[in-house]
Amino acid sequence: MTDNKYPTHTTAPNQPDTLIEFPCHFELKAMGQHCDEFVELVYQTTQKHAPDVSRDAIRLQASKNGKYVSVKITIYATHIQQIHGIYGELNTHPDVLWTL
């Protein structure tokens, strides 16, 4: 039995797939073990999809005990697929604990 009270598709036909307006500056975040290799992993992955990103765009924040690090990189994003590509690659890497 199907309940027709609730639509199966809630996006209006003319509604964009994202609320982000492109191009824009976008901050990516990834958390992992506090080591240079992890920071480099996040940077290299980001650079594959956003070749103009510079190392100056990296900001680090260590966890309270210093075991983990949050890597934040601001990119100039031109489309949503660029962001999905970065997060998709980071999320499949075993050294990445989480992304935001």
Residue 67: inside a domain, yes or no?
yes
Residue 57: inside a domain, yes or no?
yes
Count of structural domains, the chain: 1
- CATH code for position 66: 3.30.70.260
Question: Which among 74, 69, 75 is positioned nearest to 36, based on CA atoms?
Answer: 69
The whole-number pLDDT of residue 16 equals 59
Domain that holds residue 52: 24-99
Tokens of 61: 């924040």
As averages over each run of 10 residues, the pLDDT of the chain (100 residues) reads: 44 60 97 98 98 97 98 98 98 98
Residue 7: inside a domain, yes or no?
no
Residue 69: inside a domain, yes or no?
yes
Which sign does the torsion angle of CA 88, 89, 91, 97 carry? negative
Residue 28: inside a domain, yes or no?
yes
Residue 3: inside a domain, yes or no?
no
